[in-house]
Structure 1
Amino acid sequence: MKIFRAEPSRWHHFGKNEIGLVDRLFIKTEREKPDFYRRMFDKDFATVFFSPNRQSGDLFEIVSNAEEIMTKLIGNTKVRCAPRSIDGTIRKLVEEIGQSLIWFGRAYYFLYDDKNNGQVHIASFSSGGVVRLLGTHIQWVPSRRESYWDRDNKIHPREIRILDAAKTMRFDMPILFKRMLSTQNRTITIIDKHQYEAIKFQPLATHENPNPTNHFDFRIWREIQERALYRATRKTGWNGRVHDSSNLSDFFVCHRLIRFRRNQLLLRDEILKQLSSELSRIGKSYNAEFSVNISPTDKLPTVAHLNELEVKLTREEVGFNEIIEYCYTC
């Protein structure tokens, strides 16, 4: 086993034979695989932003006392489908962090030194095997085999990497959301498990009775499942992607939509708050007084305006189209 200070390993996949008994205390060999409703919710809730073409102008206000350092950090952040503008980079970064928080409860990024060109860049790495002890992040890396086509395979020994705290960025799911999603996911998991149980009540056709009579009312079964789903998602406001049910009134749909969008915006603002704090912290290695604050501009929807729409909806002072249009803006 090697214990040393180093950059985090970005190795994501390990063979089952490579995971030892001790490794299993730190590395999960099998992650929870969400089923139908759980998978849909995770995808919908992580979609904090919609089409970028819906709005023009800057989406974020960036206030920093060192513009050069701020541009250096954010401009060199590695995100999927890397945009050219800093505004676009922040948008992608918030989306990626949000997905990690919803799926894993935390997200990690590291400030890498690019020795080839003397620059730095920020990139994500897996949270698997990472623990924090007394403010220090430690990454447990099991032994692994690296294959090459032009030479013999190389076996790397087990490693404990002590990460540089000044370059490690950690993002955590807020306790409020963690509890809310945990409670909801327990119920949704049960609904997913029994979603197709009704087929057991379908009598089997026989030679003597090829068209057996079925007295089981599948409509009632479906309504019970729908009611259980809406009760489970009451706090998040998720609609289960149901838009045409005759059991849902327009008031119900709009109240739900406002609640769901408000939760998304609260998560968005919390990520921006943590992002500002983490960038300010790692930027102090270049300037002890460095600080940056990133906040949404009035081009993006706000929690305050959603609260106003909810009050107006209760008083019947706003139309449904206006609410839907505002909730699905960028």
Structure 2
Amino acid sequence: MNSLRIFKAEPIHRQIFQNDQIGLVDSFFLKRQKREPGFNRRMFDEDFANIFSVMNHRSRNRFMVESNDEKLAQTLLINAETRYASNSIDESIGELTEQIALSLVWHGKAYYYLHGNPEIEGVRLASLDSRGIFRLLGNHFQWVPRCLEQDWDLDAKKHSREIRLLDSAKLVRFDLPSSIKQALNTQNRILAILDKHKFAETQFLPKAKLENPNPTSNFDFRIWNDIQERVLCRATRSTGWSGRNYDSVKRSDFYTCHRLIRFRRNQLLLRDSILKQISIQLSRIGRPYNAEFSVAVSVTTQLPTVEELNELEIRLEREDAGFDEILDFCFQR
């Protein structure tokens, strides 16, 4: 721990370092970078975090913002850092929600930090690497190993090992709902095994030899694929994910509809949780500039709700809703 510095400062947002650069001391505070997710895990993360359909992404008035200080609320929301530039509050909330969702699905948490002062200058609510962030005695710290920082439009900077005391009033944290977190933990363990052995059937193929250049194989690939599909279906039962397989002749329309509803419901539960957390966290970080400040972000009738899905599921069980209606609701709304 030579030359370890401890000081109050803004966080480093983009740290560039490899797992082999994380020393023994660093590993107590800094998780090693996860390996690139496998095929099924990567597909699920993309599908689940894609909370809004293409149609809804292009629509307007998806969100309602209620605040006792509209100017401050708009300043915080419109200046939230997102992957794509947003031209309106509606776009900013949509992009922010999906960005937070992706981080939650992969890391289980997401951090943002407020830079600037809305009363004096422009502000930026920027995403923050969750690795290395820890809380001690009511204070938040960022553990920074020896690394490079890639800043916006600037050359990379070298940093020695240091601990940065962060301003908790400007730090924002989002968490994955416990019910979804538990379901994902169980599912991801099985998906990791499936991805690891996805192409293991090649090991059962006999090798060609000089005396037998075209060996025959009794390995039944249909049974192997059937087992893989069954395991995937069971692993994703809680989340309702289909693995992007909607045309299997082994699945009834009734089965597919229930899985679609369950998957969409989990997405909406995550969406609503994120919007609630956005409301709470923005209200908190805005109070240094307005002691009575509060903001509430919610969906409008342009977007589906959990209550509508529950009603649709009841109608499906009564055989009052058909396959086409379920598809239209889950993919078009």
Which one of 70, 73, 83 corresponds to residue 70 of structure 1? 73
Number of the residue aligned with 1:325: 328
Per-residue Cα deviation, 1:253-286 (whole angstroms, up to 9, x for no partner): 1111110000000000000000100000001011
Which one of 19, 26, 36 corresponds to residue 39 of structure 2? 36
Q: Is 1:79 matched up with 2:62?
A: no
Structure 2 segments unaligned to the other structure (5+ residues): 151-155
**Secondary structure in 2 matching 1:301:** coil
**What letter matches 2:215 in structure 1?**
P
**Secondary structure in 1 matching 2:172:** strand
Number of the residue aligned with 2:196: 193
**Secondary structure in 2 matching 1:278:** helix
Q: Closer, same or farther in 2 for the Cα pair 1:146/1:79, shift >3 Å?
A: closer
Alpha-carbon distance in structure 2 between the residues aligned to 1:324 and 1:17: 47
> Could you state the TM-score of these two structures normalised by the residue count of structure 2?
0.91
Which one of 184, 192, 217 corresponds to residue 181 of structure 1? 184
Number of the residue aligned with 1:250: 253
Deviation at 1:35, TM superposition (A): 0.8
Number of the residue aligned with 2:131: 128
Comparing 70-79 and 49-58, the one that deviates more = 49-58
Deviation at 1:98, TM superposition (A): 0.3
Alpha-carbon distance in structure 2 between the residues aligned to 1:293 and 1:25: 37
**Would the aligned equivalents of 1:300 and 1:329 in 2 still touch at CA under 8 Å?**
no
Q: Is 1:303 matched up with 2:306?
A: yes
User: Could you tell me the percent identity over the aligned residues?
Assistant: 54
Alpha-carbon distance in structure 2 between the residues aligned to 1:54 and 1:319: 26
Per-residue Cα deviation, 1:159-212 (whole angstroms, up to 9, x for no partner): 211111111100011111111100111111111122222222222233443433
Deviation at 1:99, TM superposition (A): 0.5
> Could you state the TM-score of these two structures normalised by the residue count of structure 1?
0.92
Which one of 15, 19, 22 corresponds to residue 19 of structure 1? 22
Deviation at 1:132, TM superposition (A): 1.6
Per-residue Cα deviation, 1:41-73 (whole angstroms, up to 9, x for no partner): 111111111114676440011111111110111
Alpha-carbon distance in structure 2 between the residues aligned to 1:157 and 1:53: 46
**Would the aligned equivalents of 1:77 and 1:122 in 2 still touch at CA under 8 Å?**
yes
Which one of 172, 175, 178 corresponds to residue 172 of structure 1? 175
**Secondary structure in 1 matching 2:298:** strand
**Secondary structure in 2 matching 1:22:** helix
Alpha-carbon distance in structure 2 between the residues aligned to 1:174 and 1:16: 29
**Secondary structure in 2 matching 1:137:** strand
Number of the residue aligned with 2:153: none
Alpha-carbon distance in structure 2 between the residues aligned to 1:134 and 1:240: 44
Which one of 217, 232, 235 corresponds to residue 232 of structure 1? 235
**What letter matches 2:237 in structure 1?**
R
Query: How many corresponding residue pairs?
Result: 324
Number of the residue aligned with 1:269: 272
Comparing 241-250 and 252-261, the one that deviates more = 241-250
**What letter matches 1:274 in structure 2?**
Q
Which one of 43, 50, 54 corresponds to residue 51 of structure 1? 54
Deviation at 1:143, TM superposition (A): 2.6
Deviation at 1:32, TM superposition (A): 3.1
Number of the residue aligned with 1:161: 164
Structure 1 segments unaligned to the other structure (5+ residues): 148-152
Per-residue Cα deviation, 1:23-42 (whole angstroms, up to 9, x for no partner): 12222343132111111111
Which one of 1, 5, 8 corresponds to residue 2 of structure 1? 5
Q: Closer, same or farther in 2 for the Cα pair 1:329/1:137, shift >3 Å?
A: farther
**Secondary structure in 2 matching 1:111:** strand
CA RMSD of aligned residues (A): 2.1
Deviation at 1:146, TM superposition (A): 7.1
**Secondary structure in 1 matching 2:258:** helix
Alpha-carbon distance in structure 1 between the residues aligned to 2:323 and 2:168: 49
**Would the aligned equivalents of 1:54 and 1:329 in 2 still touch at CA under 8 Å?**
no
Alpha-carbon distance in structure 2 between the residues aligned to 1:54 and 1:119: 27
Alpha-carbon distance in structure 1 between the residues aligned to 2:308 and 2:75: 34
**Secondary structure in 2 matching 1:63:** strand
Deviation at 1:81, TM superposition (A): 0.9
Q: Closer, same or farther in 2 for the Cα pair 1:17/1:51, shift >3 Å?
A: closer
Comparing 269-278 and 54-63, the one that deviates more = 54-63
**Would the aligned equivalents of 2:14 and 2:149 in 1 still touch at CA under 8 Å?**
no
**Secondary structure in 1 matching 2:92:** helix
